[in-house]
Amino acid sequence: MFQSELLAKEGDKLLRANRFDRALERYREAARYDADEPDLAAAIAWCEYQLSPKAAGDVAYVRDALARVIEAAPRIARAHYFLGFVLVDLGRPQAAVGSFRTASQLDTRLIDAERQARAIELRTPAAAASKTSKGGGLKGLFGGNKK
């Protein structure tokens, strides 16, 4: 278990540096010592996805892998976070927002999850429509275009 944790921490550092190939090696090695760790399964699936050409089969594979992790261990914030990006790639922004928000609630240190959710909401047509109906820009702040 200790060896697995050390390897996983190395993998996390490499993942933050976007070194997916080397991170994947560390996570796979860690999984040899602790094969049932759902956090490792999520990290492995994510690294494999990042190294893939992101074809339809790759997207389906990682979505299913992360769904299995979440089903087995619903409190793994990392799995929800990664799933949010996959859902964006699938063109499902509202579902992605839900995944990012869940990740943020499960681990308050994942501040990027909340940022991703907000960014998606700002890009969606519903958010854009409500912004223009309120009178966007500085004029909107001071009462719109009253003459």
Q: What local confidence, expressed as pLDDT, does residue 48 receive?
A: 98
CA 79 to chain CA centroid, Å, is: 7
pLDDT recorded at residue 126: 60
This prediction's pTM: 0.83
* Residues 59-87: tens digit of each pLDDT: 999 999 999 999 999 999 999 999 999 99
pLDDT confidence bin for 122, thresholds 50/70/90:
very high
Confidence of residue 1 (pLDDT cuts 50, 70, 90): confident
pLDDT per position as a tens digit, 88-113:
999 999 999 999 999 999 999 999 99
